[in-house]
Chain A
Amino acid sequence: MKTYRKTLTGALALALLGAASAYAAPPAGRLLAAQCAQCHGTNGQAVSGMEKLAGESEREIYNELIEMKAKLKPDEIMHRQAAGYTDAQIRLIARYYASLGKTGSTGSRGSSSTSRKSRDD
């Protein structure tokens, strides 16, 4: 089954050569960074009550997370989250959010998340 799937992937990839750019591998850190979005908003654009991450500097995000991980205050849920990631993973996450710029545009329809308002507003 494995070989079959590999072949299939190959065939599809070949077939899609015409649109090769549309099927590029995802940028490093994107999937890891997406795990922050449940609280900090799609592409780092929080809708309310939480810190926006898009466009913060790499150093800012990296240092903050590393510090949280080192301190582990019992009353801080975010410290537990930070403790889940290696320093290298934190570096990737920080670099990814810094790369988004303030508008947090990424992927194809990135701008879609910039003007969003929550339905409860």
Chain B
Amino acid sequence: MFSHNRRKLLQASGALVATGALSATTPAQAAAPRVVVIGGGFAGATVAKYVRMWNPAIQVSLVEPNPGHVSCILSNLVMTGAVGMSTITLRYDNLRSKYGVNIVADRAVSIDPVSRVVLTANGSRLPYDKLVLAPGIDFDSIPGLDSAVLPHAWQAGPQTLALKAQLDSVPAGGTFVMSIPKAPYRCPPGPYERACLLADSLLRRRRAGRVIVLDANSDVVAEPHTFHTAFQTTYAGVIDYRPNSEVLSVDWAGKKVVTNWESVPFDAANIIPPQRAGKLVAAAGLLGSDPATRWAPVNPLSYESRVVPNVHVIGDSQGTGQPKSGHMANAQAKVCADALVRYFAGEQPDPAPMTSSACYSPITATTASWLTVVFGYDAASGLMKPVANTLAEAPAPTAGHYKDMFGWAKNLFADSFS
């Protein structure tokens, strides 16, 4: 079988040997390099689409167990009831029908980087020339916390609905406790946005409740002006913000969260644990030998792993220090797609890639703020760095930004998934 020949070819270190092996195969076979993508979130869907769009001679398989991706973006609005699950559920049909991506409805369980094969839960073996890992995030465990009971809702889907149920269960005058892990975590402004919407919901439902925000960080991580104003003014008396508060354990039966300072009773809660790269990243050895490494070290010109060749990591799992957002995951996916297209053309990656991030955060039921930044490659350090004058938050939340949020999300969803 050709795949066998190709694997041999790819293991061969001499061009002569390699060309020899190849000449035994037909040109049609030789002309179909294989890219396997693991994870169909913003990063994985985008890279699969763009590789096919930019060079349909490359075969792309996308491994993802779910029939569609449920977006975290706008998911806090599902919690409040402002939008339904259908708005944030993104299917893979267009990737298949419009771009010819081979959708493999399965979970990747291991990678053999020497033979270049991905093994799946159903026992499939998927050979690759280039592998792209985009499995999102994984969570640290917290003693006493069962996220099936007390949702993090930091991956959307059933967790989002469980969080909505928590909010709906708050009794009049009750206390909702939410916690924020140490940065870096997925979506820097996300937890503060959620705190605002929890408070707004309690106010609108006339529950006269409180939202206690336990932040493991020493201050608001993103959009400090927006969120300090919201906490101190818009939601004065409702949001009780407590910095430097790290959740050490949860007492579910006694309904208490224990931090490094105190024990905080709750009626309903949302504990967001500390985060790291998706499980498969560690399992594949992509974090290297230092157990403190949480995110995959990669070369930002191509997102190829610094540890295992021919494996690329994009989106929240990678560790370039760029913010973990869906917008950014999409941006990195394009840099990676371009590098893969060039690689199969015998070219080096673009030497000066750019990426950017944008997040719209609802602050009330009718207003939103935004946060943005542009990153450029810095050749001297080999790092992606924020470009001067591009990191900014909206001066104030407005109804106009709230409207723009939906236009932005629709376009981002379409650019990634259809």
Identify the A interface with B (CB < 8 A): 1, 4-5, 7-16, 18-19, 22-26, 30-32, 34-35, 37-42, 46-50, 72, 74-75, 77, 80-81, 83-85, 89, 107-110, 112, 116, 118-120
Contacts and interface: CB of A to CB of B under 8 A. Distances in A.
B15 A26 contact: no
Contacts of A25: 342, 345, 347
A22 B19 contact: no
B13 A7 contact: yes
Interface in B1-37: 9-10, 12-15, 18-19, 22, 27, 30-31, 33
Contacts, number: 192
B11 to A, nearest CB: 10
For the residues of A in contact with B, the DSSP-based class is: helix
A26 B348 CA distance: 11
A101 to B, nearest CB: 17
B342 A118 contact: no
Contacts of B22: 11, 14-15
A42 B415 contact: yes
A4 B390 CA distance: 39
Contacts of B382: none
A68 to B, nearest CB: 11
A26 B309 contact: no
B50 A34 contact: yes
Interface in B94-111: 94, 98-100
Interface residues of B, number: 75
Given A23-B55, A74-B392, A80-B392, A14 B408 contact: no
Interface in B35-85: 49-50, 52-57
B55 A41 contact: no
Given A22-B55, A22-B57, 10 more contacts: A5-B309, A9-B343, A11-B19, A13-B346, A14-B18, A16-B30, A23-B55, A24-B345, A31-B353, A77-B394
B407 A50 contact: yes
A84 B376 contact: yes
The 6 closest A-B pairs by CB, nearest first: A49-B407, A84-B374, A13-B346, A11-B18, A18-B27, A23-B345
B30 A26 contact: no
Contact of A49 (B12, B15, B411): B411
Given A25-B347, A81-B390, A112-B99, A120 B410 contact: yes
A83 to B, nearest CB: 5
Interface stretch (B204-212, B246-254, B354-362): B354-362
